[in-house]
Amino acid sequence: MSDKTDATPEMPLKDNGIGASGAMLATQTSGLGWKIFPLLLVTFFMGGVTGLYFQPPGMKAFFGLTGLEPGGGTETPIAVAMAQVQAQEQVAVVSEGDIVALGRVLPDGDVLAVATPYGASDARIQEIRVSEGETVKRGDVLAVLDNQSQLENALNTAKATLRVKEAALLQSQETIRASREEAQANLERALATAEQAQSELDRLTPLAERGVATQAALDTATARADEAKRDVERNRATLSRYEAGSGAVQADIAVAEANLEAARVDVSRAESDMERALVKAPIDGMILALNSQVGEKPATEGLVELGDTSQMMVEAEVYQTMIGRVAIGDPVTVSAEALDGDLTGVVSAIGLEIGRQSITSDDPAANTDARVVDVIVKLDAASSEKAKRLTNLETIVRIDAGRLETGQGE
């Protein structure tokens, strides 16, 4: 019995079709999954990009509830950065007609960098006579250079030479006067001698004719009279040399006067050179900054920075695409965090050249290569007083560029 039991053959399982079909389905599903997976990735990616770009109402509501921001987890959000770049290319219009631009507060006429006088060469600063915030007038001495003593010595030398030339001219004039007086005296003496000789000749002539005087005496008298006449002519010629209109006197005086004029020119030049030791204010204004100290060579950017803060202005950079809407006289509002209230003014000038933007915000996505036109805004009296100590303050400038357009439309 045991042998039969052990030898009993195993009966094969009945195939009802389920096992083979399941295996085949599993194989097909596995192959289909590998084909669908990339499509799912592409679908999810395109959906995410589309959602970030278009931001449908549902996604906006999600971000509003969660407080999240698209791309907020990165330093340079993609969607936000693209929007900011586009905003840089097209100036923000806050309301109809308004144009917003970045600007800086400046004194009227800009900030002047006061340099040392021409020819100061290697001179260093000996004394600074002003301080920051001080108001100065045109021509006030701002600083003294250490070449002042050298220039003073040159001036004193030129003045001494001038005095020598003045004395030389006086000496020449006095010498000519004395010589003229001497020549005049010699002429008068010669005339007297000639008159006496002629009288003697006139006396002896009739006597010699009557035989009372000898011929020798007559000849002697005739010779003396002739000599006296020649002496008179000689002294007259000498006196003529010292007459005011003579060439000799004019030449002597002309040389002395020319030397004197040259000395005066030297003094004038030395006095002008003294200006090279002084740094003076070119305009009325306020000292905004000192760029050098005593003992230093003046800085290349100027010894001091000076500006006329009695009238302040704002230099705004308006994008080239919007400059056509700006006109002279447009009202302007200027704001900044450092200001206690807004500043007001009007557009006073519009630049004629398109340049590169120099005023940028702190936004890392700001476009620093934008093309702009400078627009000058003249602030009113109250705003100028408020901004006079805020030179170079960066501001937001709002130009009501639609005012004139609205008036034309009406």
Instruction: Tell me the H-state helices in 123-147.
Output: none
Distances (CA, A) of 288 to 242, 280, 389: 67, 15, 8
Q: Return the pLDDT at 257.
A: 87
Alpha carbon distance 186, 241 (integer Å): 14
Q: Return the pLDDT at 295.
A: 86
For 95, list phi and psi in degrees, rounded to 5. Answer: -140, 175
Within this chain, do residues 188 and 264 fall inside the same structural domain, yes or no?
A: yes
Of 251, 274, 297, the one marking the end of a domain is 274
Closest to 334 measured CA to CA, from 313, 357, 363, 309: 313
Q: Return the pLDDT at 73.
A: 56
Domain that holds residue 324: 98-107+309-400
Domain count, the chain: 2
Q: Return the pLDDT at 318.
A: 94
pTM of the entire structure?
A: 0.53
Within this chain, do residues 245 and 361 fall inside the same structural domain, yes or no?
A: no
Residue 138 lies in a domain: no
Residue 391 lies in a domain: yes
Residue 245 lies in a domain: yes
Q: Return the pLDDT at 228.
A: 87
Which pair of tokens denotes residue 403? 């005012």
Task: For residue 296, give the DSSP letter.
Answer: S
Q: Which strands, in side-by-side order, build the sheet including 141-145? A: 125-128, 141-145, 278-280
Residue 381 lies in a domain: yes
Mean pLDDT by 10 residues, the chain (410 residues): 42 45 49 64 68 64 63 50 42 60 92 84 87 92 90 93 92 81 86 87 82 82 87 84 65 84 93 88 91 85 89 94 92 92 94 86 58 94 91 93 49
Within this chain, do residues 270 and 165 fall inside the same structural domain, yes or no?
A: yes
Angle ∠(159,164,165) on CA atoms, nearest 5 = 95
> Residues with Cβ < 8 Å from 366, sequence gap 6 or more?
84, 88, 360
Q: Return the pLDDT at 171.
A: 86
Q: What is the CATH number of the domain that holds 162?
A: 1.10.287.620
Give the dihedral sign, CA 379/385/386/387.
positive
Alpha carbon distance 391, 105 (integer Å): 5
Q: Return the pLDDT at 48.
A: 67
Is 362 exposed, middle or buried, given 0-12, 13-18 or 19+ CB atoms closer than 10 A? Answer: exposed
Q: Return the pLDDT at 287.
A: 92
Q: Which residue has the tokens 């000799």?
A: 248
Alpha carbon distance 152, 158 (integer Å): 10
Within this chain, do residues 314 and 257 fall inside the same structural domain, yes or no?
A: no
Residue 14 lies in a domain: no
Residue 19 lies in a domain: no
